Amino acid sequence: MKPSQKKKEFFYRKAKKEKYRARSAYKLIELNKKYKLIKPGDIVLDCGAAPGSWSQVALDIVDKTGFVLAVDVLPVAPLQGPFKFLLADLNKKTTINKIKKSLPRKADIVMSDAAPEFSGIKERDAGLTLQLNKKILNITKEILKPKGNFICKSFQSSELNGFIDEVKQIFKLVKKSKPRASIKKSPEIYIIAKNKN
Protein backbone atom coordinates (compact mmCIF):
# COMPACT_ATOMS: atom_id res chain seq x y z
CA MET A 1 0.00 0.00 0.00
CA LYS A 2 1.31 3.45 -0.94
CA PRO A 3 1.95 5.94 1.94
CA SER A 4 -0.88 8.17 0.63
CA GLN A 5 -3.28 5.19 0.68
CA LYS A 6 -2.14 4.23 4.21
CA LYS A 7 -2.78 7.78 5.37
CA LYS A 8 -6.24 7.82 3.78
CA GLU A 9 -7.01 4.43 5.32
CA PHE A 10 -5.80 5.58 8.76
CA PHE A 11 -8.13 8.60 8.87
CA TYR A 12 -10.97 6.58 7.33
CA ARG A 13 -10.72 3.95 10.09
CA LYS A 14 -10.31 6.63 12.75
CA ALA A 15 -13.50 8.36 11.52
CA LYS A 16 -15.43 5.07 11.67
CA LYS A 17 -14.16 4.40 15.19
CA GLU A 18 -14.92 7.91 16.46
CA LYS A 19 -18.33 8.03 14.72
CA TYR A 20 -17.54 10.85 12.28
CA ARG A 21 -19.34 10.63 8.94
CA ALA A 22 -16.18 11.25 6.90
CA ARG A 23 -12.41 11.46 7.34
CA SER A 24 -12.60 15.16 6.43
CA ALA A 25 -13.62 15.79 10.06
CA TYR A 26 -9.94 15.60 11.01
CA LYS A 27 -9.03 18.38 8.61
CA LEU A 28 -11.35 20.78 10.44
CA ILE A 29 -10.26 19.51 13.87
CA GLU A 30 -6.61 20.23 13.01
CA LEU A 31 -7.29 23.60 11.36
CA ASN A 32 -9.45 24.72 14.27
CA LYS A 33 -6.80 23.69 16.79
CA LYS A 34 -4.18 25.67 14.87
CA TYR A 35 -6.18 28.80 14.01
CA LYS A 36 -8.95 28.90 16.68
CA LEU A 37 -11.75 29.46 14.16
CA ILE A 38 -14.74 28.11 16.12
CA LYS A 39 -15.50 28.61 19.79
CA PRO A 40 -18.30 27.69 22.23
CA GLY A 41 -21.52 29.61 21.58
CA ASP A 42 -20.72 30.37 17.94
CA ILE A 43 -23.28 30.49 15.13
CA VAL A 44 -21.84 28.39 12.29
CA LEU A 45 -22.81 28.19 8.61
CA ASP A 46 -21.54 24.97 6.99
CA CYS A 47 -21.71 25.29 3.18
CA GLY A 48 -21.72 22.13 1.07
CA ALA A 49 -22.10 20.19 4.29
CA ALA A 50 -22.92 16.62 3.11
CA PRO A 51 -22.40 14.10 4.61
CA GLY A 52 -22.11 16.28 7.73
CA SER A 53 -18.69 15.56 9.26
CA TRP A 54 -17.72 19.25 9.54
CA SER A 55 -21.08 20.00 11.16
CA GLN A 56 -20.38 17.20 13.66
CA VAL A 57 -17.04 18.78 14.59
CA ALA A 58 -18.62 22.25 14.86
CA LEU A 59 -21.43 20.95 17.08
CA ASP A 60 -18.86 19.41 19.44
CA ILE A 61 -17.22 22.83 19.79
CA VAL A 62 -20.17 25.27 19.87
CA ASP A 63 -21.94 23.19 22.52
CA LYS A 64 -25.59 23.79 23.47
CA THR A 65 -25.18 27.58 23.44
CA GLY A 66 -24.23 27.71 19.74
CA PHE A 67 -25.95 26.73 16.50
CA VAL A 68 -24.94 25.01 13.26
CA LEU A 69 -26.78 25.52 9.97
CA ALA A 70 -25.77 23.05 7.25
CA VAL A 71 -26.57 23.79 3.60
CA ASP A 72 -26.26 21.40 0.65
CA VAL A 73 -28.02 20.12 -2.48
CA LEU A 74 -27.51 16.62 -1.05
CA PRO A 75 -29.40 15.59 2.10
CA VAL A 76 -27.65 15.59 5.46
CA ALA A 77 -29.06 13.24 8.11
CA PRO A 78 -30.06 14.93 11.40
CA LEU A 79 -27.40 15.51 14.05
CA GLN A 80 -27.82 15.81 17.79
CA GLY A 81 -27.61 19.29 19.25
CA PRO A 82 -28.49 22.80 18.02
CA PHE A 83 -28.50 21.85 14.35
CA LYS A 84 -30.60 22.60 11.29
CA PHE A 85 -30.25 21.39 7.70
CA LEU A 86 -31.29 23.45 4.69
CA LEU A 87 -31.67 21.68 1.34
CA ALA A 88 -30.60 24.43 -1.06
CA ASP A 89 -28.25 25.22 -3.94
CA LEU A 90 -25.45 27.65 -3.04
CA ASN A 91 -25.35 28.77 -6.68
CA LYS A 92 -28.92 30.15 -6.56
CA LYS A 93 -29.58 33.77 -5.52
CA THR A 94 -32.65 32.74 -3.48
CA THR A 95 -30.49 30.63 -1.15
CA ILE A 96 -29.07 33.60 0.75
CA ASN A 97 -32.54 34.66 1.94
CA LYS A 98 -33.26 31.09 3.06
CA ILE A 99 -30.00 31.11 5.02
CA LYS A 100 -30.80 34.47 6.64
CA LYS A 101 -34.23 33.19 7.72
CA SER A 102 -32.69 30.02 9.18
CA LEU A 103 -29.98 31.70 11.26
CA PRO A 104 -30.80 33.11 14.72
CA ARG A 105 -28.38 36.02 14.07
CA LYS A 106 -25.34 36.82 11.92
CA ALA A 107 -22.84 33.95 11.78
CA ASP A 108 -19.54 33.88 13.68
CA ILE A 109 -18.00 31.61 11.07
CA VAL A 110 -18.77 30.48 7.53
CA MET A 111 -17.02 27.25 6.59
CA SER A 112 -16.94 25.19 3.42
CA ASP A 113 -15.46 21.84 2.50
CA ALA A 114 -17.60 21.91 -0.65
CA ALA A 115 -16.46 20.74 -4.05
CA PRO A 116 -18.39 20.76 -7.33
CA GLU A 117 -18.94 17.70 -9.56
CA PHE A 118 -15.44 16.93 -10.84
CA SER A 119 -14.58 16.26 -14.48
CA GLY A 120 -11.11 14.81 -13.83
CA ILE A 121 -9.42 17.72 -15.65
CA LYS A 122 -7.35 19.44 -12.95
CA GLU A 123 -7.42 23.05 -14.20
CA ARG A 124 -11.13 22.87 -15.01
CA ASP A 125 -11.98 21.36 -11.62
CA ALA A 126 -9.89 23.99 -9.83
CA GLY A 127 -11.77 26.69 -11.78
CA LEU A 128 -15.17 25.20 -10.88
CA THR A 129 -14.15 25.08 -7.21
CA LEU A 130 -13.10 28.74 -7.32
CA GLN A 131 -16.47 29.71 -8.85
CA LEU A 132 -18.22 27.94 -5.98
CA ASN A 133 -15.88 29.57 -3.45
CA LYS A 134 -16.73 33.00 -4.86
CA LYS A 135 -20.44 32.29 -4.43
CA ILE A 136 -19.81 31.26 -0.82
CA LEU A 137 -17.66 34.36 -0.25
CA ASN A 138 -20.55 36.54 -1.51
CA ILE A 139 -22.87 34.83 0.98
CA THR A 140 -20.23 35.37 3.67
CA LYS A 141 -20.14 39.12 3.02
CA GLU A 142 -23.83 39.33 3.88
CA ILE A 143 -24.29 36.90 6.75
CA LEU A 144 -20.96 36.97 8.63
CA LYS A 145 -20.68 39.38 11.53
CA PRO A 146 -17.75 41.82 11.89
CA LYS A 147 -14.64 40.08 13.29
CA GLY A 148 -16.07 36.73 12.09
CA ASN A 149 -14.05 33.94 10.47
CA PHE A 150 -14.13 32.09 7.14
CA ILE A 151 -12.60 28.85 5.89
CA CYS A 152 -12.98 27.15 2.52
CA LYS A 153 -11.40 24.36 0.53
CA SER A 154 -9.77 25.27 -2.75
CA PHE A 155 -7.24 23.80 -5.17
CA GLN A 156 -3.85 25.05 -6.27
CA SER A 157 -4.22 26.80 -9.62
CA SER A 158 -3.10 29.87 -11.54
CA GLU A 159 -6.29 31.68 -10.46
CA LEU A 160 -6.04 30.94 -6.73
CA ASN A 161 -4.01 34.05 -5.85
CA GLY A 162 -6.69 36.26 -7.39
CA PHE A 163 -9.31 34.69 -5.12
CA ILE A 164 -7.04 35.08 -2.09
CA ASP A 165 -6.67 38.80 -2.94
CA GLU A 166 -10.49 39.07 -2.87
CA VAL A 167 -10.58 37.41 0.55
CA LYS A 168 -7.86 39.79 1.81
CA GLN A 169 -10.11 42.76 1.00
CA ILE A 170 -12.67 41.44 3.51
CA PHE A 171 -10.52 39.91 6.28
CA LYS A 172 -7.57 41.18 8.28
CA LEU A 173 -5.70 37.86 8.39
CA VAL A 174 -5.62 35.38 5.48
CA LYS A 175 -3.51 32.20 5.25
CA LYS A 176 -3.24 29.02 3.20
CA SER A 177 -3.04 25.72 5.08
CA LYS A 178 -2.85 22.01 4.27
CA PRO A 179 -3.86 19.75 7.17
CA ARG A 180 -2.24 16.37 7.81
CA ALA A 181 -5.47 14.54 6.92
CA SER A 182 -5.14 15.86 3.35
CA ILE A 183 -3.36 13.54 0.93
CA LYS A 184 0.09 15.03 0.21
CA LYS A 185 -0.24 14.66 -3.57
CA SER A 186 -3.69 16.27 -3.58
CA PRO A 187 -3.75 19.88 -4.84
CA GLU A 188 -6.37 20.77 -2.21
CA ILE A 189 -5.59 23.68 0.08
CA TYR A 190 -7.62 25.48 2.72
CA ILE A 191 -8.03 29.25 2.83
CA ILE A 192 -8.19 30.48 6.42
CA ALA A 193 -9.52 34.01 6.94
CA LYS A 194 -9.98 35.69 10.33
CA ASN A 195 -11.32 38.95 11.64
CA LYS A 196 -13.80 40.26 9.04
CA ASN A 197 -13.66 44.04 8.49
User: Which residues are known catalytic residues?
Assistant: 153
Give the integer Cα–Cα distance in Å for 131 and 128: 5
Burial 10-22 (b: 16+ CB within 10 A, else e): ebeeebeeeebbb
Output the CA torsion 19→21→153→170 (10° steps).
-70
